[in-house]
Structure 1
C-alpha cells in the first residue's frame, strides 16, 4: 500500500469520525427534547382518556409519535445503515375519534414506540452524545498545551484537571495534549461504531419482535392481493385500450381498403382519398400501439436502464426537473419497472396537484446488505400530499410493497414535498 493511499484512508477515517460526532451531537440536541415532549404528551393524553379529552387528543399525539419514530428510522438507515421496519396497522380513514384512539392503542407498534421513548431520552441520548464528546474533548487538551493553562492557573487555586492529568505547568499541559491525541485516535476508530450502536439500540426497541412472523404474513398476504388486483386492472386497461384504439383503427383501415377495391376502376379519385385515409389510420394505430407498449414497459427502460428512463421521463415534463443518478449497475427488470412507474406516478401527482415550478429527482444505491435502491422526488410546491388522500400515493405504496419496498412522504402545508421510495434489490 502506497503512502498516498494510507494518507487518504487516514483522512477518510478522521472525516468519518468528525461526521459521526456532528451527527451524534445533532441527535442528542434534537432527539432528547423530542423524545421528552412525545413521552409527556402521550402519557398525559392517555391519562385523560377516561374523562373524554384523551379520546380527541390521543390520535393526534400518537400520530406525532409515529412521525418522530419514522424520522428516526430514516436517520438510522441513512446515517447508520440500520434498517428498522415500520409495521403500524392501518386505521380506516372514516374511523371516529373513539375508533382511531383504541385502534392505535391496540396496535403493538404503538407500545413499542412508547417503551422506546424513555430509553431514547436516557441511553439513546448518551450513546448519541458520546461520539461528539470523544471528538470535541481533545480540543480542550490541545488548547491547554497552546497556553490556555496559564489563564486557568490564574483563575484557580489548585491544579486544573484534564481527564486524569493535573495541569500545573507547561510540561503537564503537554501531557494533557498527549491524552487529547490518544482520545482523538480512539474517536477516529470507534465514533462510527458508537453511532451505529445508538441506532441498533433504537432498532432493539422499535423493530417488531413477538408476532413479527404473523404480522409479516399479514402484510405479504395484503401485498399479494393488491398485486393481483393491480395486475388484473392493468390487463383490463390494456384490453380496453386495444379495443377502443388500435383495434378500431385497424378495422376501419380494413374497411377502407375493401372500399378501395370497389372504387379502384370506377372512381380512382375516391380510391386515392380512401388510401390516404387508410394510411393515416395505420399511422395512428401504430402510434397508439407504441404508446400502449410504452405504458407496459418503456423501451428505453429495457435498453438503457432506470437512470436513463427516468431522465427521459423528466424531459417530457412541463416543469423544470433535475435528475441525479448514482447507480453502480442495474437491478432486476421487475424492480426497475416498479421503480419507474412509481416515479412516474409521483411526478404526475407533482405536475397535477403541487403547483411547483421545480422538481428534483435523486436515484442512488444504498450500500447495505439489501442493496437498497433509494429514490427521492422533491418539489417546491404547496405541499399537503398524503398517502391515502386520493393522490395516487396509495397505489405507489402497494406497488413498492410487492417488492418489500417502503414509501415515506414529507409534505407540510406550504411545501416542500419530499417523497422517498426504497426497494431492496438483493
Structure 2
C-alpha cells in the first residue's frame, strides 16, 4: 500500500514538473513577441502625441497593454495561485480621445504596465524558460552518451555543462551529470514557474501609497453611506410623523366623534365619515410615496430597467429610456443605480430647462453604465449645489464613478458607472 502511494506521488510530481516546463516554455515563446510589439508601439505612440497622431493611437495601444497584463494576471492565478491585483482608474466609455489618452497616462497602473514590458522581455523571459531548460537539458546528456557526441564534437571537445566530452567515458560522465540534473529538475522545476509570476507581481502590484489612498477613499465613502442612511431614517421618521401618522390620528378622532353623533346627528356623522375616508386615501397615498422613496416595489419586482421607465413616466419632461441589460445586478447595486438616476433626472427637470431627456442603461466589460442626457442650458458641475456630489458619494460606496459633461449652452451628459456582474 505504501509502495503504491509513493509511486503515485512520484508520478504526480513528475507530471507537475513536466506541466511547469511546458507552461513556462509556451509562455516564453508566445509572450516574448507580444511584449516586444506592445513596448515598441507604446513608445512610438506616446512619442507621436505632440503632433496629434498619438492622441488617437495611444488609447488603443495602452488598452492592448492592459489586456496583455490582465492575461498574465489570469495565468498567474490559474497556473500558480498567485493573485496580482490591478488598480486601473476607470475611463468613461464616451470620453473623447484626448480625455482617454491623458486619463490613461495619469494612471499609475499604466506606467507600471509599461515598466513591466521590458522586464518581461528580459528577466521574465529567462524565468519563464528556466523550468523547460532545467527539465529538458538532462536528456541531451543521455543522447550524448548514446553516441551523439561523435557528431557534435566534430573532432573538437564538446562541452556538456562542465564536462568536456572527448570520448565514450566522458560521454558517460555527461550522462551521469544529466541524471543528477534530472533529479534536481524533478524536485525544483514546479517551484520555478511561480518565480516568473512573483517577478511580474513585484512590478504590477500597486504600491503602498496607492493602497493607502484606496483605503482612505473607501473609508470616506463608507462614512458617507452611514451618514446618508442616518439622514434617510430621519427623513422617514419626519414624513411618517408629519404625514400619515397625523392623518391616522385625525381619523381616530373623527371616528370617535362619529360614534357619538351617529344617533344624534346622522347628517354630521356622514360628513365626518366622508372626511375620514378622504384622510384614509391621503394617508395611503403618502405611505405609498414613502415606500417608493425607500425602495420602489417595481425595482424589486421588475428590475432596474422597468423601474427607470416607470420613473420616466412620472416626469413632466419627455424622457426616452433605452435599456440593454441581459440580467439583474445585486439588489444594493440596483438600488444605488436607481436613486442615482432619479437624482440626476430630478436635477435635469429642476435646473436644466430641458424639454427632452434621454436615459441609456447598459452593461459591458463588468460595468453597469447609466447615462442621462438633456438638451438644456448646461453648466452642471459636481459640488455646485446641483446634488451631483451626493450622487458621486452614493456611487463611491460601490466603487462607482460619476462623470459630467455640461458645457455652457448644453447639452448635459451625466455618466454613472458601477462595477458589477449580472445574474
Please give the alpha-carbon distance, in whole angstroms, between the structure 2 residues aligned to 1:61 and 1:233: 43
Q: Match for residue 145 of structure 2? A: 145
Any unmatched runs of 5+ in structure 2?
230-293, 304-326, 333-360, 370-395, 400-419
Please give the alpha-carbon distance, in whole angstroms, between the structure 2 residues aligned to 1:402 and 1:148: 68
User: How far has the Cα of 1:236 moved from its partner?
Assistant: 4.9
Residues 240-291 of structure 1 show CA distances to partners (whole Å, capped at 9, x for unaligned) of 79xxxxxxxxxxxxxxxxxxxxxxxxxxxxxxxxxxxxxxxxxxxxxxxxxx
Counterpart secondary structure, 1:85: coil
Residues 94-119 of structure 1 show CA distances to partners (whole Å, capped at 9, x for unaligned) of 11110000000000100110111111
1:215 equivalent to 2:214? Answer yes
Q: Map residues 97-108 of structure 1 onto 2, 5 A cutoff.
A: 97-108=97-108
Please give the alpha-carbon distance, in whole angstroms, between the structure 1 residues aligned to 2:164 and 2:398: 60
Contact 2:24–2:131 (CA<8 Å) still a contact in 1? yes
Q: Map residues 233-244 of structure 1 onto 2, 5 A cutoff.
A: 236-238=298-300
Please give the alpha-carbon distance, in whole angstroms, between the structure 2 residues aligned to 1:240 and 1:120: 49
Q: Match for residue 48 of structure 1? A: 48
Please give the alpha-carbon distance, in whole angstroms, between the structure 2 residues aligned to 1:142 and 1:217: 60
User: How far has the Cα of 1:79 moved from its partner?
Assistant: 0.7
1:167 equivalent to 2:186? Answer no
Please give the alpha-carbon distance, in whole angstroms, between the structure 1 residues aligned to 2:10 and 2:160: 27
Residues 292-339 of structure 1 show CA distances to partners (whole Å, capped at 9, x for unaligned) of xxx99xxxxxxxxxxxxxxxxxxxxxxxxxxxxxxxxxxxxxx9x99x
1:57 equivalent to 2:30? Answer no
Alpha-carbon spacing, 1:162–1:391, altered in 2? closer, same or farther (3 Å): closer
Counterpart secondary structure, 2:367: helix
Q: Match for residue 276 of structure 1? A: none
Alpha-carbon spacing, 1:239–1:31, altered in 2? closer, same or farther (3 Å): closer
Q: Match for residue 119 of structure 2? A: 119
Q: Map residues 27-426 of structure 1 onto 2, 5 A cutoff.
A: 27-153=27-153, 155-158=154-157, 160-208=158-206, 209-218=208-217, 221=221, 236-238=298-300, 390=363, 393-395=366-368
Q: Match for residue 3 of structure 1? A: 3
User: How far has the Cα of 1:12 moved from its partner?
Assistant: 1.1
Q: Match for residue 13 of structure 2? A: 13
User: How far has the Cα of 1:178 moved from its partner?
Assistant: 1.0
Contact 2:24–2:132 (CA<8 Å) still a contact in 1? yes
Q: Match for residue 254 of structure 1? A: none
Please give the alpha-carbon distance, in whole angstroms, between the structure 2 residues aligned to 1:192 and 1:402: 42
Any unmatched runs of 5+ in structure 1?
242-294, 297-334, 339-387, 405-420
Contact 2:73–2:83 (CA<8 Å) still a contact in 1? yes
Counterpart secondary structure, 2:24: helix
Counterpart secondary structure, 1:237: helix
Contact 2:21–2:135 (CA<8 Å) still a contact in 1? yes
CA RMSD of aligned residues (A): 3.6
Aligned length: 256
Alpha-carbon spacing, 1:216–1:162, altered in 2? closer, same or farther (3 Å): same
Contact 2:362–2:368 (CA<8 Å) still a contact in 1? no
TM-score, with structure 2 as normaliser: 0.54
TM-score, with structure 1 as normaliser: 0.54
Choose 1 or 2 for highest CA Rg: 2
Contact 2:156–2:166 (CA<8 Å) still a contact in 1? no
Contact 2:218–2:397 (CA<8 Å) still a contact in 1? no
Alpha-carbon spacing, 1:163–1:233, altered in 2? closer, same or farther (3 Å): farther
User: How far has the Cα of 1:394 moved from its partner?
Assistant: 2.5
